[in-house]
Each structure stands twice: as C-alpha cells, then as structure tokens.
Amino acid sequence: SQWGEENLQALSIQEGEDVTMNCSYKTYTTVVQWYRQKSGKGPALIILIRSNEREKRSGRLRATLDTSSQSSSLSITGTLATDTAVYFCAMTNSAGNKLTFGIGTRVLVRP
Amino acid sequence: EAAVTQSPRNKVAVTGGKVTLSCNQTNNHNNMYWYRQDTGHGLRLIHYSYGAGSTEKGDIPDGYKASRPSQENFSLILELATPSQTSVYFCASGDSGNTLYFGEGSRLIVV
C-alpha cells in the first residue's frame, strides 16, 4: 500500500465550525489531490497541491503538503451543510500513471 | 452535461453469470479507469487504459477483464460473477495531469 496510517474517520460537526482531515503516505509523491464524494455521486476533485507549494487555498478550502513527514491535510473553514460528504486524498504513483486513493474521511455537517 | 456516463446504473446478476459495465466519456482524455468502492477500502483500481486498444491491470484485477474499443468507451467485464464482486463500480477519465473525472457509479449486486 502507498498509504501510511489509514485515515478512515467519521466526523460530525456543527455548521459554521472548521474541520481538518489528514492523510499520510509511504512513498514519494509530488502531487496530492483531494476529492469530495457526495452521497450517490462519483468523487470530484476539489483541490490539488504540489510538492513545491506547501499550502494551497481555494475559497474555504486549504490544503497543505509536507513532503518531509509525507503527510497532507485538508481544512474547510466555516462549514456548510452542503459540505457533508466523504473526502479522499489521492496520490499519483512514481510512474505517474495511476492514482491511488486513501480510505477517506466521512464528514457530516449538522445544520 | 455529464462527461463520463456509466451504464447500467444498477444491476442484479446471478452467480456465474456474465456482467458488462460500460463507460463513455466525452472529455477526449486518453486515460480511463475502473475502480470499485467498498466500505472500509475506499476506491481500488481494477483496470485502466492509455487509449484505444490498450488495457492495463490495476491493483485488484483478478476476476475482471477490460476492453477499450475506442477513445470514448471503456468496459469492465465480469465473465463469471461472484458475490464478492458485489460493489459500486466507478469509471473515470484522466487528463494529462492525472486528475480524474468520475461517472456516477454502477451498483452491482451478485446473488
């Protein structure tokens, strides 16, 4: 497996709160992608961070990548009920031809 | 409009029967992928393709075949379906940066 400690989690938070989820990986990567999957739908990319960026922001989303500790995090500030979803981190293998997903973090935002 | 469409969306098959899951993309991406999603395992790669006529084994290819007759179409074939193949299957196309665009999934139950 390309993943370290598996990041299966379920979080329940109140609308308006901030949430952070983490993933760690074993093998070297230069890009980590974060996907969101809403109920009954396929995953969709929400943010991508490269090894030379350390931090990337997009609206209420913030991703970090620490290549020295081989970990990435995704934060959502001021959550909305519509943020309820499963969030996956994903990394490209060394050959650059396959994307491997973590187990995911289930986030429930209560209105 | 949806750029990656899967059919059928729901399927009940008998053990030992043949199942074909179809995927069509209008993204004009060279790469296409089949994943299965099971609770506790996240998304696992079954087969992928670099273009028409090519198929490659992913991380869990046993019991599955794939076919890529054209740029747009990529099928997943279960020659002898087993109950352990009950799952939700996702097709995706991938751009040159290895970002994936998923369909809405095909739910397969093998009885």
Tens of pLDDT along A48-70? 999 889 899 999 999 999 988 88
Distance from C-alpha of A88 to C-alpha of A7, rounded to nearest angstrom: 9
Q: Report pLDDT for B104.
A: 96
The residue of chain A with its CA nearest to that of B31 is A97
All residues at 6 or more sequence positions from B61 whose CB lies less than 8 Å from its CB, including other chains: B46, B47
Distance from C-alpha of B83 to C-alpha of B92, rounded to nearest angstrom: 24
Contact yes or no for A88 and B45 at CB 8 A: no
The residue of chain B with its CA nearest to that of A40 is B104
Q: Report pLDDT for A51.
A: 87
Contact yes or no for B59 and A43 at CB 8 A: no
- Which chain A residues touch B41 with a CB distance below 8 Å? 103
Q: Report pLDDT for A5.
A: 45
Count Cβ atoms below 10 Å from residue B4 Cβ, excluding itself. 22
Could you say which of B50, B59, B99 has the minimum Cβ distance to residue A48? B99
Q: Report pLDDT for A8.
A: 61
Tens of pLDDT along A74-111? 999 999 999 999 999 998 877 777 888 988 999 999 99
Contact yes or no for B105 and A103 at CB 8 A: no
Q: Report pLDDT for A4.
A: 47
Mean pLDDT confidence for B22-27: 97
Residue A28 has pLDDT above 80, yes or no: no
Residue B42 has pLDDT above 70, yes or no: yes
Q: Could you tell me what percent of chain B has a pLDDT over 70?
A: 98
